[in-house]
Structure 1
Amino acid sequence: MVKNLDSSNCIGVYLFADAHYCNSLKRDAEAFIFSHFLDVLGEEEFFSLSHEDLGELLLSEKLRIDNEFQVLKAAIDWISHDLQTRRRHIFSLVKCIRLPIISQQQLERYVEGLKDLGLKIGLRKILQDYKSDFSLARDARMGKINVINWQPRQCAKKNIYVIGGYSRLQDAKWSDNITLGNMEMFDSFKQTWTLLPPLRYARSGIGVAALAGRIYAVGGESNSLIHDSAEVYDPDERCWKPIPSLTSPRYPY
């Protein structure tokens, strides 16, 4: 890695290396941009990128981001910096963004808050096209097709959730198990654990699935009682909500 690279000069170095065919220097600058993408967005140099260079960066699996919404906002901020000449690039840049993995609610709030009518209409048209393609959405969810835009980037932040389960003191009897309703999240960027709102019903052996940005918990067992209840965690509202119960109580063991 080239010394003295920082968020204020890395794009300048990247553009210089690209113009002079300095491939090694370009790779180093590019790696820095990917690793510090959120810091680079706050620098004036970011807005000097051409739409081709920006599109190439936004396509990368290596962008170190918290969530895909940050990539969308970066593209729109770049366009808004010079609306008159850059508005026409909205469709090509948004193609670089994985819209299906951004919360629909978050997308709609963001579009509604845009001040430029042209941008607002353009983004609404793009979002409407995604909504109308139900067959693609279904096939992607079922794993029948491998659509890259439906998958998080390789270097995007991954959160690991640990939900429910049971605990007992060392050397305690099996009957002394304590059923847990806790939920904790491990942040793979910060390497930290965070305590989140607990389940509505403590249980172990839960069936858990992540779908469309939410976490579903179904069935399980607590104190020899097998549950048919189910609930869903909404990360935007930070709470568990009840959903229709299973047709039969279930426990995987």
Structure 2
Amino acid sequence: MDDLVQAAETFISKNLGAVLKSADFLQFGADDVKAMLKLESEQDSIDEDKYRSVVTWTKHDKDQRRKHFSDLFRLVQLENLSNEFLNDVVHKEELVGSSVECTNLIILATLSRLLSAQVYKKMKGQSDEILIIGGLSCERSVAKFNTKTIQWSEMPDTNIARIYPSAVNYNQKILLMGGTQGSTYYNSVEMLDLNDENPKWDSNLPSMGEKRYGFASTLLDGLVYCAGGGSGTGHLSSCESYNPEERKWSSIRNMNDQRTYHAMVSAQGLLFALGGHDGYNATNTAECYDPRNGKWEYIPRMKTRRYGLTAVALNNEIYAIGGQDGSKYLSSVEIYDLDAKTWIDVPSMNEKRPGGSACVVDGLIWVFGGFDAKTVEFYDPAANKWQVSTNMDRERPGLCVLSI
């Protein structure tokens, strides 16, 4: 008999979502419903199904079953429900709103989620802060900006003054690469380890294979990728990757186009290079690199030609932000939908920003710098709106901005 019971529970657990939605479920007693809600399931949205089943079961005989609702509601793992589901479904349910106990459970779940998010961010070495490196007229300057307090703090200056370098954050180790100063072009790399109590820039790192300025870099699967840029003798299509664990640079296949002052992001296991200057004009071409086959392939062109742009990946979309087309400075922003494979216009920034830089913190896109741009602004995808946060002390085009 025990084997039969266990087999039945196993079957129900594997098909829990379907069982909860069945007509037979409405005929179960409160104890049977409790037993079913306690079963584990591998289904992703099972707690949504559990919640809906509790509401439906209660309303099937509301007068008699309402007294059981809060006990059954307690068995739903509210922490597993999305914010949208909590706001659009749970909060609007009369059975929930009329129960002090259910309301308190939601408050506790929300606090637990917030706490978990903070702990997760600390475990991942993340914070609400952004590192701002260099920019014209302050090439060695480094500052930290807190997005919550809107406060600035100074950080150690870089060892070398670099114009139009590129930087990435690898496990809270900031790698600053390349750049130029006068007629000197760099392939050198220096690192600021934010894990240290008193961090300072270390120049004892392997140099890139090529000297580059105005190039783009990003992280993908534990490797640092650098692409394009200028070398002092022309515009580059060449690319290379760096393995931080092995401290080794390796060449990868060239891009299809030469690109300087372009942008590059990683998403869905691919690299995406956007726009830039091809040696003749600003371009709106874009291409992606698949490290599995080592090939660059074109994707649909951006709607606007851009160089000196910045880009971020967020919510399965790639944002191409600002830049310039010839002498025309741009505030416009467009996004590439990775599923639909199309470019779509979104609201423009408050300022035109050629040579700005952006990063993502807590689901918001923060943009700093650019020629003739002294404000800091951020974009909230949910509100579909750009807002000015504060001012910078100067324009600082060509800077590097990283979430830390």
SS of corresponding position for 2:56: helix
What is the Cα deviation at residue 48 of structure 1? 2.9
Identity %: 11
Q: Deviations over 1:47-67 (max 9, x none)?
A: 233333433443455252448
- Report the CA distance shift for 1:40/1:252 in structure 2 as closer, same or farther (over 3 A): same
| Equivalent position to 1:230, from 378, 381, 390 | 378
Q: Corresponding residue for 2:102? A: 126
- Report the CA distance shift for 1:74/1:199 in structure 2 as closer, same or farther (over 3 A): farther
Q: What code does the residue aligned with 2:379 have?
A: E
SS of corresponding position for 1:228: strand
Structure-2 separation of matches of 1:252 and 1:40? 48
Q: Corresponding residue for 2:88? A: 106
SS of corresponding position for 2:381: strand
- Report the CA distance shift for 1:133/1:228 in structure 2 as closer, same or farther (over 3 A): same
Structure-1 separation of matches of 2:62 and 2:56? 10
- Report the CA distance shift for 1:141/1:83 in structure 2 as closer, same or farther (over 3 A): same
What is the Cα deviation at residue 84 of structure 1? 3.0
Q: What code does the residue aligned with 1:174 have?
A: R
Q: Corresponding residue for 2:402? A: 252
The answer to whether residue 75 in structure 2 is matched with residue 92 in structure 1 is: no
SS of corresponding position for 2:364: strand
Q: Deviations over 1:40-88 (max 9, x none)?
A: 3442112233333433443455252448444322211011112233211
Q: What code does the residue aligned with 1:242 have?
A: W
State whether residues 90 and 122 of structure 1, in contact with CA within 8 Å, keep that contact through their aligned partners in structure 2: no
200-209 vs 65-74, which deviates more? 200-209
Q: Corresponding residue for 1:8? A: none
Q: Deviations over 1:162-210 (max 9, x none)?
A: xxx9x99933223163255775549xxxxx946797764699762243x
Q: Deviations over 1:118-152 (max 9, x none)?
A: x35544552156438987565444339xxxxxxxx
Structure-2 separation of matches of 1:58 and 1:226? 56
State whether residues 74 and 105 of structure 2, in contact with CA within 8 Å, keep that contact through their aligned partners in structure 1: no
- Report the CA distance shift for 1:216/1:46 in structure 2 as closer, same or farther (over 3 A): farther
SS of corresponding position for 1:252: strand
State whether residues 72 and 94 of structure 1, in contact with CA within 8 Å, keep that contact through their aligned partners in structure 2: yes
Q: Corresponding residue for 1:52? A: 31
- Report the CA distance shift for 1:121/1:246 in structure 2 as closer, same or farther (over 3 A): same
Q: What code does the residue aligned with 1:49 have?
A: F
- Report the CA distance shift for 1:232/1:54 in structure 2 as closer, same or farther (over 3 A): farther
Structure-2 separation of matches of 1:195 and 1:89? 49
State whether residues 69 and 102 of structure 1, in contact with CA within 8 Å, keep that contact through their aligned partners in structure 2: no
Structure-2 separation of matches of 1:198 and 1:181? 15
- Report the CA distance shift for 1:59/1:28 in structure 2 as closer, same or farther (over 3 A): closer
Structure-1 separation of matches of 2:47 and 2:24? 22
Give the number of the structure whose alpha-carbon radius of gyration is greater: 2
Q: Deviations over 1:7-30 (max 9, x none)?
A: xxxxxxxxxxxx865145224412
- Report the CA distance shift for 1:41/1:105 in structure 2 as closer, same or farther (over 3 A): same
| Equivalent position to 1:81, from 28, 42, 60 | 60
| Equivalent position to 1:218, from 361, 366, 378 | 366
TM-score (normalizing by structure 2): 0.36
State whether residues 218 and 231 of structure 1, in contact with CA within 8 Å, keep that contact through their aligned partners in structure 2: yes
- Report the CA distance shift for 1:174/1:53 in structure 2 as closer, same or farther (over 3 A): farther
Give structure 2 stretches of 5+ with no counterpart.
121-217, 219-226, 229-236, 238-254, 263-274, 276-309, 318-337, 350-355, 393-398
Structure-2 separation of matches of 1:29 and 1:83? 29
Q: Corresponding residue for 1:173? A: 258
- Report the CA distance shift for 1:244/1:77 in structure 2 as closer, same or farther (over 3 A): farther
Give structure 1 stretches of 5+ with no counterpart.
1-18, 145-164, 187-191, 210-214
State whether residues 20 and 49 of structure 2, in contact with CA within 8 Å, keep that contact through their aligned partners in structure 1: no
More helix by share: 1
